[in-house]
Structure 1
Amino acid sequence: MKLLHFTFLSLLFFAQISLGQTAKGVLKSEFIYEQAPFPSCHASTLAETPQGIVAAWFGGTHENNPDVGIWFSQLVNDKWTAPVEVANGVQADGKRYASWNPVLFQMPNGPLLLFFKVGPSPSTWWGMLTSSTDGGKTWAKPTRLPEGILGPIKNKPVLLSSGQLLCPSSSEHDGWRLHMETTADGGKTWKKSEPLNDGKTFSAIQASILFHPNNRLQLLCRSKNKAVLEAWSSDNGKTWSALQPTSLPNPNSGTDAVTLRDGRQLIVYNHTAKGRSPLNVALSPDGKRWQAAAVLENEAGGEFSYPAVIQSRDGRVHITYTHHRKKIKYVVLDPAKLELTDIKDGNWPNR
């Protein structure tokens, strides 16, 4: 009996390790679903609605298959609802294209927006938008964004003090290039910036936007240059400094970041120059000096990628990410309880 008891406790202990729950500040780590009507998934997104936390991702046979649609789930009474398809790439003539990279954003005192892409590939896709006035229970008919407007490509937009929604966007048809798109009316009309890079010196997509004192903005993004790249703006995102590498590595995989209410910056990313494991959380007081906070996953040869991160009204940090392309993982952190260690010379500390 004692042996059985010991075995059970051992299994429980190792199960907690696999879920990342031994790290200080990690309050929850679970899958949004155990079974789904699709074999493959990717590119999750999060938002907090008046009704609670919601998530979306794309799912289907495999990435770029025409059967890939946008799937959605709500956290109700601390349980995720069964995934439902809320948008797809079916055209008026019946032809169907793959759906890609949903992005959720809750407008203050307004609808829940869901941006996504439709098309055969990232170099040929187009932007789509739908919305919900009841926290995601029902959705309006999706509409196509204006020609040349893609919407936020992977990571959430930010709402500026001017009331404009600043959307980090990027394109892949002429090198990997960043640009910004803005809308002052919830997606009805749009303005688009010029590319922020030439796609040659630095190949960059999928930016996140952070807030700093004195009305400065910082972007952090994925690149093919083996590092998370950054740029800075002092005019609400109208113009940006030249891209430069940060001290954080990037294996050509998506990242996401958020400015916490205490002023610190938090990023979720793969701290490696190759592969998509481990998946890490780092914090910074200024967007320059980064501190190790948590390792969410660390499995040789694993894929833990495309994180999304938000901070909810109660101060907790919510993260979703792709787990082996089979499931979407959901993690909740208490940022006040994370144990921080300086990242020196780009090396994740042993602790």
Structure 2
Amino acid sequence: MKFITLSILCAWTFCASAQIEKNAFIYESAPYPSCHASTIEETPSGLVGAWFGGKHERNPDVGIWFSHYVNGKWETSVEIANGIQSDGKRYPLWNPVLYQVPGKELILFYKEGPAPDKWWGMLKRSFDGGKTWSKAEKLPNDIYGPIKNKAVLLKDGTLLCPSSSEDHDWRLHMEFTRDLGKTWSRTGPLNDGVTTSAIQPSILFLPDGRLQLVCRSENGFILQAFSSDQGQSWTALEPSNLMNPNSGIDAVTLKDGRHVIVYNPVKKGRSPISVAISSDGKTWKDVATLENEPGEEFSYPAVIQTKDGKVHITYTWKRKKIKHVILSL
């Protein structure tokens, strides 16, 4: 297989290199013109992905679309959730997040409602790797599930869902469930939404047992905070050394302890989209540029590491398609 070395950085005690193994669209054509907010997950039977698609964001026809990755190719996507109500009214759906429970079901979290300041949390379950899905379950009031980025399993078996709200400015919070979404608890807001305006956090795991969040903000930089009690309380948000143009990011801690983040390294616009890596969660170095077409939108990434060690990234390509990238780091 041919590899393309995107960048080599040897400024640390180890060399960091990113090799792209695949960079392709999940689909070439779809029964809708616009898509956004992809999510990717590894199941026992392989990779799966989801995103929202419809006429345009906020349009009532927007539903959640889903695909399996089989033998190196994405299958034709199918709609697995829509916002049709019992009275026939239809609401748009938003921000799907997939989570594979170890040894159990695949959960799809998503949001439903006319706008981000008025939406509510929903979930569906699949017990066959995404071939069939349960009836939709509405989450309790003030519980949204993971708002954009993946949930993480804590060492005590609690599922931590990084979340945020937009109904009283942009504020972060954390949600917890110990029984796979049947009962919930949550923190209060982690920021005031005025001095620091932030949404859509991702969770990283530090060697000393602390958690780190990184998130989108309106403050010009990716913000970060730290928790010493498994997400129940957090330090004050502070800027990282990474720029943010008020656009979604995602991050993951690799098996070897390094951290990967996918983001737009500018203060305005949503191009380019890049990959950075860190050994400590604080000092980041870019190792790859995935897209760099001026004036276009490449946004809302999702990133995971699969059991074979590869890093998989999906992101929105010009609001028209979803890209899938496989990296070796």
Q: What's the TM-score bracket when you normalise by the shorter of the two chains?
A: over 0.9
Q: Does residue 1:251 correspond to 2:237, yes or no?
A: no
- In structure 2, the residue matched to 1:329 is 323
Amino acid at match of 2:328: D
- In structure 1, the residue matched to 2:292 is 298
Q: Does residue 1:89 correspond to 2:99, yes or no?
A: no
C-alpha distance in 1, partners of 2:80/2:256? Answer: 35
Q: Does residue 1:62 correspond to 2:56, yes or no?
A: yes
Say whether the 8 Å CA contact 1:168–1:180 is kept in structure 2: yes
Amino acid at match of 1:97: Y
Say whether the 8 Å CA contact 1:175–1:200 is kept in structure 2: yes
Q: Does residue 1:123 correspond to 2:117, yes or no?
A: yes
SS at match of 2:308: coil
State the Cα distance separating 1:21 from its structure 2 match.
4.9
Which whole-Å deviations, capped at 9, do the CAs of 1:4-57 have from their partners, x for residues lacking one? Answer: xxxxxxxxxxxx9xxx95525111000000000110000000100001010000
- In structure 2, the residue matched to 1:196 is 190
- In structure 1, the residue matched to 2:304 is 310
Which whole-Å deviations, capped at 9, do the CAs of 1:175-208 have from their partners, x for residues lacking one? Answer: 1000000000000000011000000110000000
Q: Does residue 1:220 correspond to 2:214, yes or no?
A: yes
Amino acid at match of 1:186: L
Say whether the 8 Å CA contact 1:21–1:28 is kept in structure 2: no
Amino acid at match of 1:46: I
The number of residues matched between the two structures is: 317
- In structure 2, the residue matched to 1:211 is 205
Amino acid at match of 1:177: R
- In structure 2, the residue matched to 1:341 is none
Segment drifting more, 322-331 vs 86-95: 86-95
C-alpha distance in 2, partners of 1:214/1:170? Answer: 26
Percent identity between the two aligned chains: 64
> After TM superposition, which residue ranges in structure 1, 4 or more long, deviate above 6 angstroms?
none
**Residue 41 (structure 2) aligned to one of 37, 41, 47:** 47
Say whether the 8 Å CA contact 1:44–1:308 is kept in structure 2: yes
| Structural RMSD (CA) | 1.1
C-alpha distance in 2, partners of 1:164/1:315? Answer: 24
Which whole-Å deviations, capped at 9, do the CAs of 1:147-178 have from their partners, x for residues lacking one? Answer: 11111100001000010000001000101000
Q: Does residue 1:172 correspond to 2:166, yes or no?
A: yes
C-alpha distance in 1, partners of 2:285/2:294? Answer: 23
- In structure 2, the residue matched to 1:264 is 258
Tell which structure's C-alpha radius of gyration is larger: 1
TM-score with structure 2 setting the length: 0.95
**Unaligned ranges ≥5, structure 2:** 7-17
Which whole-Å deviations, capped at 9, do the CAs of 1:298-329 have from their partners, x for residues lacking one? Answer: 01001000000000000000000000000000
State the Cα distance separating 1:215 from its structure 2 match.
1.1
C-alpha distance in 2, partners of 1:333/1:75? Answer: 16
**Residue 74 (structure 2) aligned to one of 65, 80, 90:** 80
SS at match of 1:90: coil
C-alpha distance in 2, partners of 1:21/1:126? Answer: 43
Amino acid at match of 2:202: S
- In structure 2, the residue matched to 1:9 is none
C-alpha distance in 1, partners of 2:319/2:237? Answer: 30
Amino acid at match of 1:251: P
TM-score with structure 1 setting the length: 0.89
- In structure 1, the residue matched to 2:10 is none
Q: Does residue 1:146 correspond to 2:179, yes or no?
A: no
- In structure 1, the residue matched to 2:14 is none
